[in-house]
């Protein structure tokens, strides 16, 4: 009876994944203007933190549309940030907010 040959390939240990490094562009502090500062504060902060604070404000004030969850209904403070629009999509929101920050 023939014997089975063992594979001559050696098993390599899996490479350790290095910790993911944040993109430097996102971590660079940006300065909100006075209009956006009324919502998120006037201190310079990274764009990621600015977005988090904006979402905290939206959730705290219940501004996310109940039926169409991607829509944000603006209150008086956000209406100025959104260029007078009463409602914007969350994707359009980031574009409108970027007009109110200085790098």
3-state secondary structure 31-99: EECHHHHHHHCCCCEEHHHHHHHHHHHHHHCCCECCCCCCEEECCHHHHHHCCCCCEEEHHHHHHHHHC
Q: What is the pLDDT of residues 16-68, one digit of tens each?
A: 666 767 667 667 888 999 998 998 988 999 988 999 999 999 999 999 989 99
pLDDT at residue number 73: 93
- Which pLDDT score is estimated for 12? 63
pLDDT (0 to 100) of residue 14:
62
Tokens of 89: 């999509």
The pTM for the full model equals 0.70
Residue 92: CB atoms within 10 A of its CB come to: 15
Ordered domains of the chain (ranges, CATH): 24-102 (1.10.245.10)
Angle (CA) 45 61 102, round 5°:
25
> At residue 72, does pLDDT exceed 80?
yes
Contact 30, 47 (CB under 8 A): yes
Q: Looking at the predicted structure, is the pLDDT value of residue 87 above 90?
A: yes
CA 11 to chain CA centroid, Å, is: 40
In the predicted model, is pLDDT for residue 86 greater than 90?
Answer: yes
């Amino acid at each position: 009876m023939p014997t089975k040959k063992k594979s001559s390939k050696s098993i390599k240990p899996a490479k350790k994944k290095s910790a993911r490094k944040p993109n430097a562009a996102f971590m660079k502090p940006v300065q909100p203007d006075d209009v956006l500062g009324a919502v998120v504060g006037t201190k310079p902060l990274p764009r990621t933190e600015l977005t988090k604070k904006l979402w905290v404000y939206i959730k705290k004030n219940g501004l996310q549309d109940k039926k169409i969850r991607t829509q944000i209904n603006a209150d008086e403070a956000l209406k100025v940030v959104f260029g007078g629009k009463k409602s914007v999509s969350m994707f359009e929101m980031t574009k409108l907010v970027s007009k109110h920050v200085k790098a």
